[in-house]
Structure formats: structure tokens, C-alpha cells
Structure 1
Amino acid sequence: MSELKEFLLPDIGADAADVTEILVSVGDVIVEDQDVISIEGDKASMDVPSSVAGIVKEIKMNVGDSVSEGQVVLLIEVAGSAPAPVAEDNVAPVAEATPAASTQLKDVCVPDIGGDEVEVTEVLVSVGDAIVADQDILSVEGDKASMDVPAPFAGIVKEIKITAGDKVSEGTLILVVEVQVEAQASAQVAPAKAVETPAPVKTAPVVAKPAEPVTTGPIKASPSVRRLAREFDLDLSRLPATGRKGRTTKEDVQTFIKAQLAIAKSGGGGGLQVLPYADIDYSKFGEIEIKPLSRIQKISGPVLHRNWVTIPHVTQFDEADITDLEAFRKQQNAIAAKQDLGLKISPLVFMMKAVAKALKEFPNFNAALSNDGESVILKKYINIGIAVDTPNGLVVPVVKDVINKGIYDISRELGEISQKARKGKLTAKDMQGGSMSISSLGGIGGTQFTPIVNAPEVAILGVSKSVMKPVWNGTEFKPRLMVPLALSYDHRVIDGADGARFITAINNYLSDLRTLIL
């Protein structure tokens, strides 16, 4: 019914090359032209595709082996007599049962990703893979954000039109996918589809299980990534691997390099010169669980570290009296409920309006420091970033043109963008163009905290939980609802006097809502 076939190394244009990575495992279902190993010679690196389709039964080489043309790479179990009768018995019926009668090819293009052009950092699928709707198929990176592009529909990948390193924009063709056509009556199509490997291919994620503990096993990276790492003399085992099936991507290398450069800059050219953490076996003290960081945490962690060590932070604290604001907010929510407007105004909306008005009054806060540190870029727009807590980590979507929007409009937009963030549906466009960010922990608790500036912005406002306090009004103590504020800013751009003026202005706007409309 089946037979074992040897896949031999084809002509690689050199006498010998070293195996840098094995891209399949025993038991994998592979298709013709699927890459199975990566090799590297004196002058070039390349991925070697299989000329045979079937199930991998044995791998005849290891990472580090020197190989040459004609050497056995894999033993593959291929269909023998079983498929033959189907082709021979049904020469005429083949036209009826052929996939063309039940399937069609559809193009997958880059959706709106919020930018003119981005770079492909990783292709997350291979030819022959069965994909489902909303499955990530591509990783891209723009100037300010990285994101995964999901598939718009399910099917089988027939052709990949781009490679890592390509520049793409909205409308660029990514994949050609074979999809099922709704209108078909042949009952024989279902078994034929099952044999075509989507079900076995779907077991591919199982391979990711043994591949996850990459820290002690072989490093999984493409030849181009390995070449980039060698150029910077990097040990890939030190880098977090965020790619599919534990692969180290170009983005991982770039993020690591940027973090190291930031550390070096902050230490006056000599780096921070800190000792590395001790390598501790925590399991000897008791039971432990190892939980991998989410993709958002892996991306944001180095960025936050860079911002903390390279920006000279100053944080100023204040308390704003929001007693009247809170009474007005509750009154407006009651009106909105009676009119069935379908929205709820939160205190954060008034914070956004106050910050927007303060940015207009103090334009040096609505700025960015140029990369060379020689000039300040003043922004004429006023967009407010809002830190949103999601199951996968912290993200900062941006609400545009806050200065010209009313409380109801901001409330609706804030609700929509927060929902989008928690569902993981934010695009790079949703997180670009901020003037200043607000991080509000008021709904959780705490009396104060020191927020980290969200570069390239130069300031951020932290809001903690409001509390009733006795406040002296000149003649007596009165109970007033006070909200703690913490303003962090980049001292290279903003001095202490302006910082005090800015937070005082926000305090005044929140304490007396009438000043917000002046």
C-alpha cells in the first residue's frame, strides 16, 4: 500500500555544506517542494526543498553535519499501490472528482495595516498547510509596531508570494489558497479532501510541543537570521524566540540589538556594567510552573527597558479635587441611560480632555526628541494614547483629535478601541500617532505609581484610585473626592518648572469643569 523512498540532497552548488537546521520531525506530513533542511556553505545559505511528498519516517542527518550532493536526507513513506488504482481506475471520473470541481484558488492580500509600507519579518505558514480563518499567516514590522496578519478565510496554502525581508503594503499579494466551494454535490469529495493531508498537516502544531524548550535544545532560525546574528557576534541561545514553533526571527535579533544599544547609551559608552543574573534551578525549592511570555510582553518588555534606562525620568505628583466632576458625570450617565444612548461616561474621558487642553497650552509636552538629540519635533495634532490591560499584556491604542471631540464621542470611541484591544484586534494604525499617553489604575487601586514615558512621546500621566479626604477650604474641613496624579516626563525636553505648570493645569481643569470649555 505504501513504500519508503529516499530523499537525496540535490545539487547545492558546492562540494559540501553544513546543516544549520532541520525543519521537519519524524511523523510530519510533508508536501513536494516543502523546505526540510537549512544548509550553509562558504558563500551562501539556503533551504533545501523535498522532491518527495509523504510522511517522514527517518531523518538521516543532524545539525552540524557536513553534507554533499547525493547524500540521504530523509526516508519518506509515500503512497504506493493505494493511490495508483484511484488514478488508473478513474481516468474519466478524475475530472468529476478533481479538486477543480469542488475547490477554487483565492488570493490573500495584505489588509489595511495602518502604514504605507512594512517589512515581512516571518512567514508563518508553508505550502501545503491547512489554515483556518483568523490564523496568523505573516508577521510584519513597521516603524513603531509589529503585528501578525491573520488569514481572512480557511483553506490549503498552494503558493506563497512573499518572503521574509520583503517590503509590503495594503493590497500586496501574500498567498494563493485553495478553498472549498459551497456549491458541490459530490459525496466523494469529502474523502478525497481528507486524504489530501489537511488533517495530518493539522497535527503539525504537535511538533511545537517538543520544540518549545528551545533554551537548551537546538536553535531554530533561518539562514538569513543566523547570518545577521553572526554579523553582530550574537549568541542566538541568549535571545527570546518569538517565532512560529519556537523559531528565532529577524525581529528577535533586532529587538535584542536595540536593547543592548540602549543599555550602552545609558551607561556613558561603557554600558551599565551589571552582573548577569544567577542561573537558578527553582524546582529544587518546590513545585514550579514555566509559563512563556506572550508575544506582546516579548515585544514591549525590551521597549519599556529601553525607555527606562535611556530617558532621564522626572515624576511629579499632585491630587485633583474631582467632587464636582464626579457629580456631573453621574448626572450625565443617568440622562444617557434614560435616552438609551448605549454609552457610559468614565472619569478617564474627562482626564483625556484635560490632558488635551494642557497639551494645547504647553506645546513642548506635545513633542518628540529627534533621534540625533539635536532638535525637538513639535506636533500640531493632539491624540491621546490610553494604556489598556489585556489578557496578553499591555497595549496603548490612540484616540485621535481629542481636542475637537465631545465627551459622548470620546466615550464611544474609547469603548470601541478598548474592546478591540482586549480581543487582540488592534492594528499598527490603531497604536500610532500619539501625543501623550494616560495610564489609569483607578479602577484597580493603589495610591501612586511612577509611569514610564512611552517614547517617542515625552510625557505620560498616571492616574490612581480616587478617595474621599477631608480638605481645608479656609474655614473648615470638607469631604472631597481626590484623585492622585503622577506626571512622568523626559527631562531632556521638559524642565521641572514646566512639569509643575502642566500638572497644575490638569488639576485646575479637573477641579473646575468650566475651565475645560474656555
Structure 2
Amino acid sequence: MTIREFKMPDVGEGLTEAEILKWYVQPGDTVTDGQVVCEVETAKAAVELPIPFDGVVHALLFEEGTTVDVGQVIISVQTAAGAAAEAPVQEAAPAAAVAAPVAAEPEEPAAAARQPVLVGYGVSTASTKRRPRKAAAGAPAQNGTAPAAPAAPVLPAVPAQPTGERPLAKPPVRKLAKDLGIDLAAVVPTGDGGVVTREDVHAAAAAAIAPQAVSAEVPAAAPAAAPAVQAAEVPASERETRIPVKGVRKVTAQAMVGSAFTAPHVTEFITLDVTRTMKLVQELKDDPDLAGLRINPLLLIAKAVLVAIRRNPDVNASWDEAAQEIVLKHYVNLGIAAATPRGLIVPNIKDAHAKTLGELSTSLSELVATARDGKTSPADMQNGTITITNVGVFGVDTGTPILNPGESAILAVGAIKLQPWVHKGKVKPRQVTTLALSFDHRLIDGELGSRFLADIAAVLEHPRRLITWS
């Protein structure tokens, strides 16, 4: 019998660790070269890992939800002929615990149900202290005996209801459910779109513990005392929930703190009438030549930013601290801040400056679809030059966004609202929004930043300039 080991690879340019999100195989399964065996989350993206050889899974060495260093063995495979028949049951037993319904972390929501939105971000105040890692599922204790189970009591798990669909919930809610021993599949969701909320999990936990408390403390002949037991004070351990800072959230927090205290930020604002742009959006939607393309205000805002960069090329730059040089970029990798179930990411459209309106629309659609599926690669989030963040989708008027590290500027787009506006000497209802531009004052002075923001506004007020200024 030959056992081959597959180690956690570096899936993205110098990363040192990754979290195992989901196993797609179990001990005893046959695998082939190139077959995806698990999904891992790095500090930048979720990535599927294919195994590079054939065989039968011998053991899974880490549970789902465990953070593993690059280079550690995560799965062993029996590659000898007839391995499937020879694999002893007792060797697979420790790893089988990885797939236990109560211990396993719930799966990610189905890709089609995820709805990322474009948002801004700020400095995270969460602690960046690394949580203790879980022990390997198949690792024996030093004295040769199996590891002892935790002594701390946990809530009884709610029985799973095999509906065939994955429950929808944000990562913090998933972690809360896991800590309380609640199966998300058995929780009745009350959030928009069938999303399980924190309150839903607490309600399920209360429902699960109440019968146990009543049966343990109240005689069968005195059911009337049950309400008093249910009204008992919540234990101190349940008054707070601690969420480990890892993955995208950890990197975002570190990057934003670094950016905020490295680049001298300046933010300028402008309020403008975008009624003509909104009319153009509708006209483009009705254009048969653009049928099948996603046409929305963000598309024209992105195009306006590209036109303004062409008129003010010095804004598209970066600061080289080591060389003490300003690096002017003759290309635009346009970042779009996106909030996904995994957290905030900023993928960028490579060479956006060279794309037609139709090509830019296609690229934006692909960016959103990839983020929705949680498949944005590390390469898609590298080498951005300038970013757009649309906080208006939440009804927010504007904000003061923090620069994506290494970039010169970020534009926040506020909500577009019908407001009274002086138009041609009369007060009329017009579509109005506010733009906020944050920029690195080492690269962009007040004059350049003001001209750049004014040019963006001018294009959106009179979108024919998309042609005359191009």
C-alpha cells in the first residue's frame, strides 16, 4: 500500500495560510488527477484545489473551518492497486469525524442566491489577533490516545432537515450557529430573500435548550412551572459573540489601517444633476444593438471616470516609497468595491481604458458574477490603479472612502434621488447625486484633484461629453 500526501499549496503569490471551507470528498472516495477535492479561502479569494494524482482517499487531516499553513499535509491518498478494498475502516474513522453533521461548518450559500452589492469601506476596529487553530482531525494525542472531548457544555444541535438547498447566512451568523451547535438548515429564516439572521439563530438556540431545561429541572406533574425556567437569565457566555478575524476581513482591516496611516488622504465632494445621464441609461437599455448587456448608472459613471482620467492622466499613478518616485500608469485597471458573503473585495477590470461601452458592460457583469460565486481570483484583485465604490445602493448620500492600498484615488457614488434643483432658471424636480473623491495628496494636489472630480461631474451632467471628450 502506497500513501501519497497532498500539501496545502501557495495558491496566490506568497500567501502563508488558507482556511479549508469545504471538503468535496470523504475517506474511501476514489479521486482522479485534476479532481477538485476541497475549497479553501485565502486572505484574498476562495479557491478550489485539484489533487495531482489518482487513488482512494485515505484520510482528511483537517476539519472544515481550520486554518492551515502552506506546506502542511491536508489529505492522504492510497495509490496502490486495489486500495479501495484494502483501506481499513479504523484508519478512516478519525477523519470521518470531519464530515459529522454537528461538527461541520455549514456550507456556503448557493452561488445563484448570493447577491453582492457594491459598497465602500472604512477602517475596521476589530481585533486582528489570530484565533487558536483547530487540531487536525486525524492527529493522535502525544500519549497515543485520542484527544479528549471539550469539557464545556454546548447546546444540543437542532436536527437537520434535508431540504436539498443550502441555507443562506452571512459568515458571522454561520460562526454563531456553529458555536451554539445549531444546524442552519433547521433554522427558519426571517431575513430578506430567505437569509438566516443572528436573531433567527438565537431563537433556534432558545427553542433547543428550553425542552432540555424543563425536563431536567421541572417534575413532569408540574408543567405550569415551565415559563419560569424559560425566563431564566441568559448565561454570561451567551451575552457576547466573538468572531475570529481572518481571511478577507483580516486582510481588509490590515490594508485599510495601513492605507489610512500611510497615504495622506484628502476628500472632496460635488453635488450634481444627473437627470440626462439617467435618461441616457434608459435609452441605452432600449437600444436593440445593446440587447443582452447590463446597462445601469454605474456603467456610465465608470465611463465618465475613464474619460476624466484621459483628460487628467497624472491622477492615475502610484507612490514608490523605496525608490522615492511617482509611477505614472499608462493603463487603467478600474477597481469596483464589492461586498460579498466572504467580505469586502476590490476586483478590477484590467485595461478598462481600452474597452468600448459594450465591453465595459460585459466586464462589469463578469466581475459581479464572479464575486457572487466567490471565485474572484487573487490576480483579479491585484494591480488596481483607481477604484469606484457605490454606497448609493444603500440609500447613503456619500462617504469618505479610504484608498485601496497602492492606488491614487477612490470615488464614492451616493444615492441618486429626485430633488428640487434650479434648472434653466426654474426650480424643478431633477435626479441629483453627490460624488466624493478621496485621493493621495502625495500624488494629487488640490488643483488636480478638483479638476478630475469636476470633469467626472461634467460628463455625468452632460453625457454627450462621453463622445466629444473621448
Is TM > 0.5 for Structure 1 vs Structure 2?
yes
Match of 2:170 in 1: none
Match of 2:303 in 1: 353
Please give the residue correspondences for 1:335-346 in structure 2 after superposition, counting only pairs within 5 Å.
Answer: 335-336=287-288, 341-346=291-296
> 3-state SS of the aligned residue for 1:344?
coil
What amino acid is the match of 1:331? E
What amino acid is the match of 2:418? M
Root mean square deviation of aligned Cα: 4.5
The alpha-carbon distance between structure 1 residues 245 and 491, as it changes in their structure 2 partners (threshold 3 A), is: farther
> 3-state SS of the aligned residue for 2:57?
strand
> 3-state SS of the aligned residue for 1:471?
strand
Confirm or deny that 1:297 pairs with 2:249. yes
Match of 2:229 in 1: none
Match of 2:277 in 1: 325
Q: Give the counterpart of 2:263 among 311, 322, 342.
A: 311
Equivalent pair of 2:45/2:375 in contact (CA under 8 Å) = no
Match of 1:443 in 2: 393
> 3-state SS of the aligned residue for 1:489?
strand
Match of 2:356 in 1: 406
The alpha-carbon distance between structure 1 residues 364 and 285, as it changes in their structure 2 partners (threshold 3 A), is: same
The offset of 1:150, in angstroms, is 2.6
The offset of 1:323, in angstroms, is 0.9
Match of 1:469 in 2: 419
Equivalent pair of 2:8/2:70 in contact (CA under 8 Å) = no
Distance (whole Å) between structure 1 residues aligned to residue 242 and residue 7 of structure 2: 37
> 3-state SS of the aligned residue for 1:343?
coil
Equivalent pair of 2:57/2:75 in contact (CA under 8 Å) = no
Distance (whole Å) between structure 2 residues aligned to residue 118 and residue 238 of structure 1: 20
Match of 1:150 in 2: 48
The alpha-carbon distance between structure 1 residues 423 and 198, as it changes in their structure 2 partners (threshold 3 A), is: farther
Distance (whole Å) between structure 1 residues aligned to residue 327 and residue 235 of structure 2: 51
Equivalent pair of 2:270/2:435 in contact (CA under 8 Å) = yes
Alpha-carbon deviations, 1:386-435, whole Å to 9, x = none? 00110121000111122221222212221111111122211111111211
Q: Give the counterpart of 1:241 among 122, 131, 136.
A: 131
Equivalent pair of 2:46/2:377 in contact (CA under 8 Å) = no
Distance (whole Å) between structure 1 residues aligned to residue 422 and residue 451 of structure 2: 23
Alpha-carbon deviations, 1:293-333, whole Å to 9, x = none? 45211121111111122222111111232211111111221
Equivalent pair of 1:345/1:407 in contact (CA under 8 Å) = no
What amino acid is the match of 1:312? P
What amino acid is the match of 2:287? I
Distance (whole Å) between structure 2 residues aligned to residue 109 and residue 242 of structure 1: 19
Match of 1:334 in 2: 286
Distance (whole Å) between structure 2 residues aligned to residue 106 and residue 407 of structure 1: 49
Please give the residue correspondences for 1:35-434 in structure 2 after superposition, counting only pairs within 5 Å.
Answer: 118=14, 120-121=16-17, 130=27, 134=36, 136=38, 146-147=44-45, 149-152=47-50, 156=57, 177-178=77-78, 192-193=86-87, 195=89, 197-198=91-92, 200-204=94-98, 239-241=129-131, 287-293=239-245, 295-336=247-288, 341-372=291-322, 374-434=324-384
The alpha-carbon distance between structure 1 residues 244 and 328, as it changes in their structure 2 partners (threshold 3 A), is: farther
What amino acid is the match of 2:129? L
What amino acid is the match of 2:283? Q
The alpha-carbon distance between structure 1 residues 293 and 504, as it changes in their structure 2 partners (threshold 3 A), is: same
Distance (whole Å) between structure 2 residues aligned to residue 123 and residue 180 of structure 1: 30
Confirm or deny that 1:485 pairs with 2:435. yes
Greater relative contact order structure (CA < 8 Å, 6+ sep): 2
Confirm or deny that 1:510 pairs with 2:411. no
Match of 1:260 in 2: none
Distance (whole Å) between structure 2 residues aligned to residue 292 and residue 432 of structure 1: 25
Distance (whole Å) between structure 2 residues aligned to residue 363 and residue 107 of structure 1: 48
Q: Please identify the structure whose Cα radius of gyration is greater.
A: 1
> 3-state SS of the aligned residue for 1:434?
coil
Distance (whole Å) between structure 2 residues aligned to residue 444 and residue 150 of structure 1: 32
The alpha-carbon distance between structure 1 residues 408 and 472, as it changes in their structure 2 partners (threshold 3 A), is: same
Tell me, which stretches of 5 or more residues in structure 1 are unaligned?
Answer: 1-98, 167-173, 211-236, 247-281
The alpha-carbon distance between structure 1 residues 377 and 205, as it changes in their structure 2 partners (threshold 3 A), is: farther
Alpha-carbon deviations, 1:61-91, whole Å to 9, x = none? xxxxxxxxxxxxxxxxxxxxxxxxxxxxxxx
What amino acid is the match of 2:97? T
Bigger share in strand: 1
Equivalent pair of 1:390/1:421 in contact (CA under 8 Å) = yes
Equivalent pair of 1:450/1:486 in contact (CA under 8 Å) = yes
Q: How many residues align?
A: 333
The alpha-carbon distance between structure 1 residues 402 and 283, as it changes in their structure 2 partners (threshold 3 A), is: farther
What amino acid is the match of 1:292? P
Distance (whole Å) between structure 2 residues aligned to residue 291 and residue 368 of structure 1: 34
The offset of 1:123, in angstroms, is 9.6
Distance (whole Å) between structure 2 residues aligned to residue 394 and residue 373 of structure 1: 31
The alpha-carbon distance between structure 1 residues 506 and 283, as it changes in their structure 2 partners (threshold 3 A), is: farther
Alpha-carbon deviations, 1:451-503, whole Å to 9, x = none? 11111001100011101122213521122111210100111221122211111
Distance (whole Å) between structure 2 residues aligned to residue 358 and residue 491 of structure 1: 18
Distance (whole Å) between structure 2 residues aligned to residue 158 and residue 200 of structure 1: 8
Equivalent pair of 2:37/2:49 in contact (CA under 8 Å) = yes
Equivalent pair of 2:58/2:91 in contact (CA under 8 Å) = no
Distance (whole Å) between structure 1 residues aligned to residue 251 and residue 317 of structure 2: 24
> 3-state SS of the aligned residue for 1:358?
helix
The alpha-carbon distance between structure 1 residues 429 and 286, as it changes in their structure 2 partners (threshold 3 A), is: closer
> 3-state SS of the aligned residue for 1:389?
strand
Distance (whole Å) between structure 2 residues aligned to residue 315 and residue 425 of structure 1: 32
What amino acid is the match of 2:285? N
Tell me, which stretches of 5 or more residues in structure 2 are unaligned?
Answer: 62-67, 105-126, 137-233
> 3-state SS of the aligned residue for 1:318?
strand
